[in-house]
Chain A
Amino acid sequence: MSRQANRGTESKKMSSELFTLTYGALVTQLCKDYENDEDVNKQLDKMGYNIGVRLIEDFLARSNVGRCHDFRETADVIAKVAFKMYLGITPSITNWSPAGDEFSLILENNPLVDFVELPDNHSSLIYSNLLCGVLRGALEMIRKLRYTANA
């Protein structure tokens, strides 16, 4: 659905149930189609990647954040600005590696998994793997070195 160009920057209020149910239907259909948890995880990551490469532009257009100076700033922007904008939650940033190049995002109230219970036969399924793909796609688009902002 398209939005008016003079819409302004507040987001539309929408039922999150439809979003949760849509995602659930998507994952269950993938499970039926692939029958193998690893394949489903891979597909979710791919889909997330395709979402991420487009979502990053929307994020940059709306949030006006500039270039981050270090990885900690990147982690902050992801958790406090991006997740807040798109999912309405603020995951916590923990588990920094000693070198400072790895961290964990813990999502307490992930809207994708509302009402979801993973059965035993899908123990290796990563249900929210779409989000991992989104992050991968989005960050890859701004990581690429270009002549312009090169060192």
Chain B
Amino acid sequence: MAIFSVFVVNKAGGLIYQLDSYAPRAEAEKTFSYPLDLLLKLHDERVLVAFGQRDGIRVGHAVLAINGVDVSGKYTADGKEVLEYLGNPANYPVSIRFGRPRLTSNEKLMLASMFHSLFAIGSQLSPEQGSSGIEMLETDTFKLHCFQTLTGIKFVVLADPRQAGIDSLLRKIYEIYSDFALKNPFYSLEMPIRYVIPLPRFWSKPPCSPSLCVFPQCHFEV
């Protein structure tokens, strides 16, 4: 998928809409016997691999599932505490899935506000008056494109570095925002957008599952 994420940030720097559509991340599932030869640590409410990188399991990967049951934070979906469960030899052999941890919605909110502040700093650093602010942030794995409207709303798209046409995509998203969010009289300005959006035609399939979206009430329908 060439477009990885879309963020919409309001004037105050709060995230009002977010959509992720990553390609499946590299995940590794392996069966282990007691004792576990990886060192797991609890960090930031997640169980991460601290030591013992091998076979596709890298340091920094989080425990995503145990025996097929998804893990959220430090508890599994059935309410067991992960580190306690893995410390008990009676539970082995156990199949654990590791992978790069996904950002939680709070983290996304924080990152959006941070980007808003960086954007403001960027404009103030400008030697000329009336700078457009940060338009693009480039890394080797993605390019972040940002478009700020005259009213202060920012549309941020993370895309593949080779993807072209993101400028017109940003303008198109602005049009869609002005149509479906603003023309809904029950939508309050600057608030998170919780709305069912008919899928734009230029995406051939729904970009993501609803569980990845920050605002679960907002989902795409074809």
A interface, CB within 8 angstroms of B: 2-6, 53-54, 56-58, 60-62, 64, 67, 141-142, 144, 146-151
Contacts and interface: CB of A to CB of B under 8 A. Distances in A.
Given A58-B179, A148-B131, 10 more contacts: A2-B180, A6-B200, A58-B182, A60-B174, A61-B171, A144-B151, A147-B123, A148-B119, A148-B120, A150-B123
Interface string B123-134: 110000111010
A61 B177 CA distance: 9
B151 A141 contact: yes
Contact of B198 (A2, A64, A67): A2
Interface in B176-222: 176-180, 182-183, 189, 198-202
Across chains A and B, which 7 residue pairs bring their CB atoms closest together, nearest first?
A147-B120, A54-B182, A148-B123, A58-B178, A57-B178, A5-B200, A61-B175
Contacts of A60: 149-151, 174, 178
A62 B149 CA distance: 12
Contacts of A3: 179
Determine the main DSSP class of B at the interface with A.
loop
B195 to A, nearest CB: 11
Interface of B: 11, 119-120, 123-124, 129-131, 133, 148-153, 171, 174-180, 182-183, 189, 198-202
Given A61-B171, A142-B151, A147 B176 contact: no
Contact of B152 (A2, A54, A146): A146
A146 B176 CA distance: 24
Contacts of B124: 147, 150
Given A61-B178, A147-B120, A151-B129, A54 B183 contact: yes
Which of B124, B175, B176 neighbours the largest number of chain A CB atoms within 10 Å of its CB? B175
Contacts of B120: 146-148
Contacts of A144: 11, 151-152
Main secondary structure of the interface of A (DSSP, over half): loop
B201 A149 contact: no
A60 B131 CA distance: 18
A67 B133 CA distance: 14
A146 B11 contact: yes
Given A58-B179, A58-B182, A67 B148 contact: no
Residue from A56, A62, A147, A151 having most chain B Cβ neighbours under 10 A: A147
B201 A6 contact: yes
A62 to B, nearest CB: 7
Given A58-B178, A60-B151, A53 B123 contact: no
A43 B183 CA distance: 20
A2 to B, nearest CB: 7
A4 B179 CA distance: 10
B186 to A, nearest CB: 12
B150 A53 contact: no
Contacts of B183: 54, 58
A8 to B, nearest CB: 11
Contact of A5 (B133, B150, B151, B176): B176
Given A146-B152, A148-B123, A148-B148, A57 B182 contact: yes
8 contacts: A5-B201, A6-B200, A6-B202, A57-B153, A57-B177, A142-B151, A147-B123, A148-B120
